[in-house]
A and B are shown apart, each in its own frame.
Chain A
Amino acid sequence: MHDHLLSVRNLKIEATSYPPGEPPKDITIVEGISFDLEKGKVLGLIGESGAGKSTIGLSALAYGRGGVRITGGEVLLEGKDILPLGKRGIRTIRGARVCYVAQSAAAAFNPAHKLGDQVIEATLAHGLMSEAEARKRALYLFEVLGLPNPDTFGDRFPHQVSGGQLQRAMTAMALCSNPQLIVFDEPTTALDVTTQIDVLAAIKHAIEETDTAALYITHDLAVVAQISDHIMVLRHGHMVEYGTAQQIIEAPREEYTRALVNVRQKKREEAADQTDTLLKVDNVSAGYSNGFKVLFDVSLHLPKGQTLAIVGESGSGKSTLARVITGLLPPSEGSITFDGKQLTPALKQRSRDDLRRIQLIYQMADTAMNPRQTVGQIIGRPLSFYFGLHGAKKRARVAELLEEIEMGSGFIDRYPAELSGGQKQRVAIARALAAEPELILCDEPTSALDPLVAEGILNLLLRLQAETQVSYLFITHDIAIVRAIADSVAVMHRGKLVRFGPKSKVLAPPFDDYTDLLLKSVPEMEIGWLEKALASRKMESAGN
């Protein structure tokens, strides 16, 4: 009975939902989950949003987030059920024997206290070490996790360090009390790929070094494959498949797992002829009114009916470039030519027809739609604004557009809150299409979506392009998406264009340093990829 560090038996988790205008009802979030975790091993929990993976992870701390209740089953820590412990009893476990690493370390650290004090707080509160011992251990962990200036790192405040460093500091905070188990809840999801690989390596090294067991939660199978011994695939609160990491990646048994493994393998041939230019950006520089420059001398072009992918990390200036093209941010230097005609820099001076021809799709469809308007009103607005459509004609056209985006006219009177994330993004696409544009600027339209849903959106965009000859300027940080949809690619880094050209040329060697780093940092669906990538990096720096 005491063989396993953590044994979860037949876990059932419920929450109360309050649908508007109806009596509250209990819904089951997780049901029938059982697994064992040995000392020092890592179990990956993988699934789409709503699969219940965070909820299961938090049950190891007997914690329910936002009114979620654990209503059945057992969570045995070294053979002892922690669920019936009560408030006081569970406190002796949280932060001492089981620790938690949140997705957003930036939010999970208290902005008012120094990092070092927060890292050792739980250890001191539980009386596990003296303050001097705890500080020494924190220093050791900062070193193990590869943080810069480990001896002074603890004196800094959360806002003074980068996102990747914060995520590592959060891991140090979890490891400080020498816990038996750590729950990692998507610790690298919010990071850039080039940062993700470092954090991933640091976490893997630290848990091996300290022989801590871990539950590793993520939606990215390629990431979890690098760090886990076993993987559990979850969907809608139920287990789909459980196996060793190797078996799940190389020989998935279930249809759903296979779909997850294959989701990002799509590749598309680029258009052969890239000469019929629709959009041309010439030597554009731009900055904010406080003098902070964001774009430096960017020149690129996009042929008619094709897709130009702009790749880069956060802060690389890719969204700013889109703002410059729309006219939201007039450039300080350079010009933009659209369909052979130079565009007026500022949005307000552009003609209504110029506005119509360039449309935008945002990352968060949620915040880009008025929650108090129906789908019909949202899509209908550009129809009356640009084409003066009204009444039955407008409604008929909205229904047509809803058919186009594979949703159907049944959605016309629904509100955004009643739609799923993928459906909202489809409505946003329909709204852009309603203007019958020649160019759609897509600003990371799939990065907030689950992989399978995102794939659906990409397929829709490609089909629409084939039918209407619309061009896309597609902003993304995801190389897999570039491979799937682009004709030409622009790589951006710190506001400068690093590399631009047809996809086959940009994604083929010889690479410049940054593109090389970017491409090598993208996790691949392969056991041992992390070690290989790190090794090749080391060799290069040794070679230099």
Chain B
Amino acid sequence: MTDTTETSALPPETSQRRSLGERFPLATLILQRLGLSALLLFAVSVLIFGGVEALPGDFATTYLGQSATPQAVANIRADLGLDRPIVTRYFEWLGGAVQGDFGNSWASGNSVSEQIGRRLGNSLFLAFFAAVVSVPLAVGLGMLAVFYRDRVPDKIINIVSLAAISLPEFFIGYLLILFFAVNMRIATFPATVYDSMGFIDRLQTIALPAATLVFVVLAHMMRMTRAAILSVMSSAYMESAELKGLSAMRAIIKHAAPNAIAPIVNVVALNLAYLVVGVVVVEVVFVYPGMGQYMVDAVTVRDMPVVQACGLIFAAFYIILNMVADIIAIVANPRLRHPR
């Protein structure tokens, strides 16, 4: 039997050099998100351009209708520059888009950027007011549902929001029109806004479409808020708060809410993006001159520059809003904000 007793009490070297990412995790993560978003946007632009290019049907044939002789079609294609290679056209388009120039509409010949500017303003106006109502309402109702968990108010909130999310949005839209515009005559329909309208008039006009959108997005955000806070509520530090003698409302606001921010912000961002991007149906139902309707019209006549521009703007909104949500979630995490 050999003696194998060894003694050494030296600690291992721990002074390995720390990388930039370890020293500034927050800044690194945020920069990463920004870079990823830019990359994603670029990829989306390729997809949109390629996708539109691959669509069956052709502007020239649609435009000319029965008089589409091969010569006339070729002439129009040459006019629009469609005979040049796709890569050249892509980079031309991308270069313009980066500077805010989306080219001219094939159908009307007007500048796409100019037309979209007005439409986008309308869409954002509608989305903004829908968000201003729905986000605080959803978060507030979510907190209320937690406070009255499994009691009557919680159940009512749940049932109503579930019903709202289960109905198709056009159906909610028509119901609102029936009650408020037709029967009670206190709201305007169609909700078409003009440049000459004043601010108050505009608000009155968008009341019904905004209400429809609120109904559609409310339930999702409300239920996520409730679920996020409830999952935090079952953690040991909430018991700590209760055993410190804090009131239930104070415990929810001070101890539960900061830890529930990340999931809530994520679902809010998704829904905000939906308010901008997904309102096509609502705009059509209410004859509202927003981006959605503009895009639908452009698709029917194969007006590609408009379709591409709308697609890219929608994608940009989606990506930016989700990026903002990501960054807020990162900043809300104390482990990243205050590294060891």
Contact = CB atoms under 8 A, between A and B. Distances in A.
Given A493-B9, A496-B10, A497-B6, A107 B245 contact: no
A395 interface: no
B57 interface: no
A182 to B, nearest CB: 11
Contacts of B240: 100, 102, 108-110
A220 to B, nearest CB: 21
Interface in A494-525: 494-502, 505-506, 512-514
11 contacts: A94-B245, A100-B243, A159-B335, A160-B338, A291-B16, A498-B6, A498-B9, A499-B7, A500-B5, A505-B5, A506-B5
B334 A94 contact: no
B288 to A, nearest CB: 41
Interface in A155-172: 156-157, 159-160
B236 interface: yes
A104 B239 CA distance: 12
A352 B68 CA distance: 72
A275 interface: yes
B61 interface: no
Interface in B1-46: 1, 3-12, 16
B5 A125 contact: no
A108 B239 contact: yes
Contact of B334 (A108, A121, A157): A157
Contact of A157 (B11, B236, B338): B338
A514 B7 CA distance: 10
A156 B340 CA distance: 9
B178 interface: no
Contacts of A96: 245
Contacts of B4: 300, 500-501
A112 to B, nearest CB: 4
Interface size on B, as a range, is 20 to 34
A494 B236 contact: no
- Most A CB atoms within 10 A — which of B4, B11, B235, B334? B4
B245 A91 contact: yes
Interface string A275-315: 10000000000000001010010001000000000000000
A480 interface: no
A91 B237 CA distance: 17
A376 interface: no
Nearest to A275: B1
B12 A494 contact: yes
A56 B258 CA distance: 32
B336 to A, nearest CB: 10
A281 B246 CA distance: 56
B250 A125 contact: yes
A497 B258 CA distance: 44
Contacts of A108: 236-237, 239-240
Identify whether the interface residues of B are mostly helix, strand, loop, or mixed. Answer: loop
A162 B243 CA distance: 23
Contact of B12 (A275, A495, A513, A514): A495
Interface string B112-127: 0000000000000000
Contacts of B255: 110, 112-113
Contact of B1 (A92, A99, A274, A300): A274
A253 interface: no
A427 B174 CA distance: 63
Nearest to B2: A275
Contacts of B254: 113
A107 B236 CA distance: 5
A63 B242 contact: yes
Contacts of A126: 245
Residue from the set B8, B247, B338 with the largest chain A CB neighbour count within 10 Å: B8
Given A113-B255, A505-B5, 5 more contacts: A94-B245, A499-B6, A500-B5, A501-B5, A506-B5
Contacts of A102: 236, 239-240
B244 interface: yes
Contact of B7 (A110, A274, A498): A498
A293 B242 contact: no
Contacts of B8: 496-498, 512
B12 A111 contact: no
Task: Assign chain A's interface to a size class.
Answer: 35 or more
A61 interface: yes
A57 to B, nearest CB: 11
Nearest to B238: A110
Interface in A80-120: 90-96, 99-100, 102, 104, 107-113
B338 A499 contact: no
A122 interface: yes
Given A104-B236, A112-B334, A157-B334, A95 B5 contact: no
B62 interface: no
A348 interface: no
Nearest to B11: A494
Contacts of A496: 8, 10, 12
B105 interface: no
B259 interface: yes
A95 B278 CA distance: 50
A293 B246 CA distance: 45
Q: Closest 10 A-B residue pairs measured CB to CB?
A: A95-B244, A95-B245, A94-B245, A107-B236, A122-B244, A112-B258, A501-B5, A512-B7, A91-B245, A110-B237
A109 B250 contact: no
A107 B237 contact: yes
Interface string A140-167: 0000000000000000110110000000
A506 B242 CA distance: 48
A94 B243 contact: yes
A372 interface: no
A106 B92 CA distance: 57
Nearest to B260: A112
A95 to B, nearest CB: 4
Nearest to A106: B236
Central interface residue in B1, B11, B240, B250, by most chain A CB within 10 Å: B240
A113 B1 contact: no
A303 B254 CA distance: 58
Most buried by A among B11, B243, B255, B335: B243
A293 B12 contact: yes
A501 B4 CA distance: 5
A157 B236 CA distance: 16
B5 A91 contact: no
Contacts of A157: 334-335, 338
A38 B149 CA distance: 40
A128 B266 CA distance: 40
